[in-house]
Amino acid sequence: MNRLSETQRNNIIKIGLSDLVCFSHLRWNFVYQRPQHLLSRFAKIFRVFIIEEPFFEAGSDHLKISEGGDNVWVVVPHLRKNVADDTILRQKQLLSQLFKEREIKNYFFWYYTPMALPISDHLKPELIVYDCMDELSSFKFAPPQLKELESELFNKSDIVFTGGYSLFEAKKNRHKNIYPFPSSIDKAHFGRARTSNPEPQDQAGIPHPRLGYFGVIDERMDIGLVAKVAEKKPLWNFILLGPVVKIDPDSLPRRRNIHYLGSKNYNELPGYLSGWDIAMIPFALNDSTRYISPTKTPEYLSAGKPVISTSIRDVVSPYGDHGLVHIADDPDEFIRVAELELRNTDKSRWLKSVDDFLSENSWDETWSRMMQLISKSLEERNNIQLTNLNKQQYV
């Protein structure tokens, strides 16, 4: 898994970094996605602390710390509710306590949310990384101060990664050390769907053809598109896996051929995928999806499933342009391409094109490239500090 050169490893050891502290707006145990893939790999080298957003229901301010995997600790602030005291100050105090008790030293920061800046600006990391995986300011209920804090985070960061190419294009002029890292895959994991799997009990009784989706069900999904196709094709069955977030569950269309099976853990997904005929990415075309790079695209393809997506930019290019994914924005076009796939009994040439395209795409490779860039940034920062120190000696 760890593909760093011996020189890079030695440089990290020489610099003395031992801990990674991540600030995330996403719960570690919510949906297994980019943060989990990357940080679990960083945990092969560093202690990793995930600082989540607080809950306001405690009798007294405290931190709940649990293991999130090998060498990973999930830290959740629990704060007193209805207290007039400054919540930022209280979180700072809890963080300082954490750093002292866990002897967190020689650390670097990894931000997924700019909203964590006010609670962490009193600490002194060796390096700051901003992994900008989404345009959070376009999401429903985004805090009004998010854009201002993101500008501050860009100024403070030593290196910035983006979750896709369209997001990179939008942000590239805001930092001199910024790199695009679109969604990667765990090919072996999702490749299990290409072989026969025991049918999950809640899916077993659903007739074919089955068109499936997994992921968060929120304002980014064009649930209306799914509803219209389901109405036009009552013998097709639509399986939706995932939590409903930020929208009223009662607003979701209810039809006999639309099946909401709830959240599934990461290890269960190949079993569900194995029983689908087509995988879907029915995202709405709005501000919240303008820059997304859906991780599920290469995951579906690794599973060997035909994919129909709306015209999300980072799906159209490269997957649509290479003929790997069908693009359909309206019900009639969706039905047309789905009928083509359901009639297609020989997918061998398409599967070879998929495998060729995905051959260099993996979370291991993405993590390795990120680690190389981090190592380089650390070397450059240390050289600058050494140069400045030498200059001061002659002042």
- Dihedral of the alpha carbons of 319, 218, 69, 300, in degrees to the nearest 10: -30
- Buried b / exposed e over 18-31, threshold 16 CB at 10 Å, is bbbbbbbbbebeeb
How high is the pLDDT of residue 58? 77
- Buried b / exposed e over 54-64, threshold 16 CB at 10 Å, is beeeeeebebe
Report pLDDT digits (tens) over 269-326: 999 999 999 999 999 999 889 999 999 999 999 999 999 999 999 999 999 999 999 9
8 Å CB contact between 266 and 32: yes
Element (H, E) at 22: strand 19-23
pLDDT score of 141 more than 90: no
CA distance 129 to 286: 28
8 Å CB contact between 28 and 76: no
Q: Distance of CA 75 to CAs 17, 92, 99, 143, Å?
A: 20, 13, 11, 22
CA distance 83 to 77: 15
pLDDT bin (cut points 50, 70, 90) of residue 382 is confident
For residue 54, cis peptide bond before it (omega within 30 degrees of 0)? no
Report pLDDT digits (tens) over 152-161: 999 999 999 9
- Dihedral of the alpha carbons of 299, 328, 135, 69, in degrees to the nearest 10: -20
The first and second tokens of residue 298, run together, are: 């290469």
Q: How many CA atoms lie within 13 A of 344 on its CB side?
A: 16
In this prediction, residues 74-89 reach a mean pLDDT of: 86
At residue 300, the 3 state secondary structure works out as helix
Residue 182 neighbours by CB under 8 Å, 6+ apart: 163, 164, 165, 293, 314
CATH assignment of 187-358, among 3.40.50.2000, 3.40.50.300, 1.10.3720.10, 3.40.640.10 = 3.40.50.2000
The first and second tokens of residue 392, run together, are: 């001061």
CA distance 229 to 303: 24
Q: Any bridge partners for residue 21, and if so which?
A: 49, 109
Whole-model pTM: value is 0.88
At residue 334, the 3 state secondary structure works out as helix
Q: Could you tell me which of 387, 380, 368 has the C-alpha nearest to residue 159?
A: 380
The first and second tokens of residue 212, run together, are: 């499936």
pLDDT bin (cut points 50, 70, 90) of residue 15 is low
The first and second tokens of residue 23, run together, are: 């600030």
Q: What is the domain class of 6-184+363-393 according to CATH?
A: alpha beta
CA distance 367 to 253: 39
CA distance 240 to 263: 9
pLDDT score of 6 more than 70: no
CA 58 to chain centre: 29
Strands of the 326-327 sheet, one edge to the other: 258-262, 237-241, 210-214, 278-281, 307-309, 326-327
pLDDT score of 8 more than 70: no
Q: What is the DSSP letter of 86?
A: -
Q: Where are the domains of the chain?
A: 6-184+363-393, 187-358
pLDDT score of 135 more than 70: yes
Higher pLDDT, 277 or 392: 277
pLDDT bin (cut points 50, 70, 90) of residue 385 is low
Q: Could you tell me which of 354, 343, 211, 355 has the C-alpha nearest to residue 273?
A: 211
In this prediction, residues 139-163 reach a mean pLDDT of: 93
Element (H, E) at 109: strand 107-111
Backbone angles phi and psi of 55, in degrees to 5: -105, 140
CA 342 to chain centre: 31
Identical fold for domains 6-184+363-393 and 187-358, yes or no, is yes
pLDDT score of 393 more than 50: no
pLDDT bin (cut points 50, 70, 90) of residue 59 is confident
Q: Could you tell me which of 279, 277, 284 has the C-alpha nearest to residue 295?
A: 279
pLDDT bin (cut points 50, 70, 90) of residue 13 is low
